């Protein structure tokens, strides 16, 4: 009983609050959304991938929903992102929707010890790198949406009504971290929705706050009426693209699932009535995955035997990489089957391009596994993120790597796959020596590349023999473990 009171009996934060009056508010069903969207405004949106983490499937989506059961979704962990969305308004300033993550001087997550130990994050970009921020519109005050506030200590924080005072499980354990993030800034501004559940924040139609209680009592989504197209920032009214596309509400992460159903249905209906609206859900975006490498990165670190050129024109390369006739000689299904990947394993496709192998790898690891799709081109990573979301491949996580570092965590993979990419790598011995750290005990590295005499592939001068590859990888600390003779135009070498 005492423990129950401890976990449920306190508010989210002790930070002071006051009421914020938007320019106007009315019932959302009374708003002429067509007229609003016919008049775009100069506000802009930039989506920021701040960190990768994991979430419980049963919290992200309601597994009791018939469509979730029909899809075979089960309890377990799924890779998700922690995002921040940068809003720039020419008159009112620069804001964030949700806060991403922030780190201390030692590069650690700004959090209490228990949170830091129990909340695994792979940090990509911290809030303090985003420039001067005037305010942060928080969708709700769950811990994963406020972890970047300490990186913008002078920004005003805006939430929905009653959000700071809401009592929910775990608050006693999380409140120290939330208070650390809020710091010494002024009072939290709680948006006044007494005039209606749709608030024109600035009064110019650029930013609409939509009160969508259910996930939490004060949950707020935002419609950004941007010049280059409207964007609906859903927050955790829907965590995942799969949930959005299948109209399945969040699971036990929500405080009121029945109420969440109605809010999600309304948001989806809004976008169906106005299909020009693009959608960013809570944890399966963003379309921009971190910072791009410098424009001349493709000309750097090139040495003899390495071939590098630009792969940033996604549409062009998708037509080539994903051409139906490729299946005949690449044999993706047969290759993946021959690799003996087990359900629940973690596989990294390095140099994944447009994601040609993703459906086959995702099927091999199953819903409980993970596929890391790594590429150095931000446009390719964005493309793969959308591709995975559209296909419902929740186990796929697209990652932006660097030319000398795929950005894989230590001991994170059971199999590292590199198809048609080895000849693009510079300083290969150093690269693959460092890559060993990403392999779990017993992990394997598989190199698939073009033979010297095939008519396919890069110019002969840029190809490498199996003997050269084996010698280089042996020098990098890998042990040859066999080869597969299943492709006519390529060799398949396995290392441990």
List the chain domain ranges. 2-281, 297-495
**pLDDT score, position 169:** 66
Closest CA to 230 of 286, 268, 276: 276
**pLDDT score, position 51:** 87
How many other C-beta atoms lie within 10 A of the C-beta of residue 461? 8
Structure tokens at 9: 């009996």
**pLDDT score, position 286:** 42
Where the chain has pLDDT below 50, the residues are 1-8, 286-312
Give the HSE-up count for residue 327: Cα atoms under 13 Å, Cβ half-sphere.
6
**pLDDT score, position 175:** 83
Distances 397 to 55, 80, 416 between C-alpha atoms, Å: 13, 8, 14
Report domain 2-281's class: alpha beta
Tens-digit pLDDT profile for residues 91-128: 999 999 999 999 888 788 888 777 777 778 888 888 88
Residue in the block written with tokens 């449920």: 8
Structure tokens at 73: 């979704």
**pLDDT score, position 160:** 96
3-class DSSP string for 6-70: HHHCCECCCCCEEEECCCEEECHHHCCHHHHHCCCCCCEEEEEEEEEEEEEHHHHCCCCCHHHHH
**pLDDT score, position 299:** 24
CATH 3.30.750.200 fits 297-495, yes or no: no
């Amino acid at each position: 009983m005492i423990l129950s009171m401890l976990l449920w009996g306190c508010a989210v934060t002790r930070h002071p609050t006051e009421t914020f009056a938007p320019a106007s508010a009315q019932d959302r069903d009374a708003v002429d959304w067509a007229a609003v969207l016919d008049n775009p405004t100069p506000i802009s949106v930039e989506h920021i991938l701040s960190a990768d983490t994991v979430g419980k499937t049963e919290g992200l989506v309601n597994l009791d929903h018939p469509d979730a059961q029909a899809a075979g979704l089960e309890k377990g962990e799924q890779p998700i992102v922690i995002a921040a969305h940068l809003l720039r308004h020419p008159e009112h300033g620069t804001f964030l929707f949700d806060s991403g993550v922030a780190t201390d001087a030692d590069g650690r997550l700004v959090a209490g010890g228990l949170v830091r130990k129990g909340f695994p994050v792979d940090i990509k970009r911290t809030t303090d790198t985003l420039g001067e921020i005037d305010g942060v519109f928080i969708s709700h005050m769950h811990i994963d949406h406020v972890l970047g506030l300490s990186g913008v200590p002078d920004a005003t924080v805006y939430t929905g009504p009653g959000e700071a005072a809401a009592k929910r499980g775990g608050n006693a354990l999380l409140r120290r971290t939330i208070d650390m993030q809020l710091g010494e800034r002024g009072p939290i501004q709680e948006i006044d929705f007494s005039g209606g559940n749709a608030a024109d924040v600035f009064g110019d139609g650029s930013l609409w706050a939509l009160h969508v209680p259910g996930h939490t009592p004060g949950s707020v989504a935002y419609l950004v009426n941007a010049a280059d197209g409207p964007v609906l920032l859903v927050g955790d009214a829907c965590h995942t693209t799969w949930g959005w596309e299948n109209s399945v509400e969040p699971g036990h992460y929500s405080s009121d699932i029945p109420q969440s159903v109605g809010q999600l249905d309304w948001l989806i209906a809004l976008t169906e009535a106005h299909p020009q609206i693009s959608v960013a859900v809570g944890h399966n975006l963003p379309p921009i995955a971190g910072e791009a490498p410098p424009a001349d990165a493709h000309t750097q670190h090139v040495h003899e035997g390495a071939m590098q050129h630009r792969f940033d024109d996604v549409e062009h390369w998708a037509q080539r990489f994903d051409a139906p006739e490729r299946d005949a000689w690449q044999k993706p299904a047969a290759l993946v089957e021959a690799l003996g990947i087990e359900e629940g394993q973690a596989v990294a496709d390095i140099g994944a391009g447009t994601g040609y192998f993703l459906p086959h790898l995702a099927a091999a690891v199953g819903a409980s596994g993970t596929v890391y799709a790594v590429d150095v081109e931000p446009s390719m990573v964005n493309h793969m993120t959308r591709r995975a979301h559209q296909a419902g491949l929740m186990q796929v996580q697209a990652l932006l790597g660097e030319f000398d570092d795929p950005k894989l965590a230590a001991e994170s993979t059971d199999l590292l796959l590199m198809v048609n990419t080895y000849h693009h790598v510079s300083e290969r011995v150093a690269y693959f020596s460092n890559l060993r750290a990403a392999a779990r005990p017993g992990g394997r590295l598989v190199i698939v590349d073009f033979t010297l005499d095939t008519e396919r592939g890069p110019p002969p001068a840029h190809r490498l023999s199996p003997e050269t590859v084996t010698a280089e990888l042996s020098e990098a600390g890998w042990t040859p473990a066999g080869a597969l003779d299943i492709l006519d135009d390529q060799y398949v070498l396995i290392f441990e």
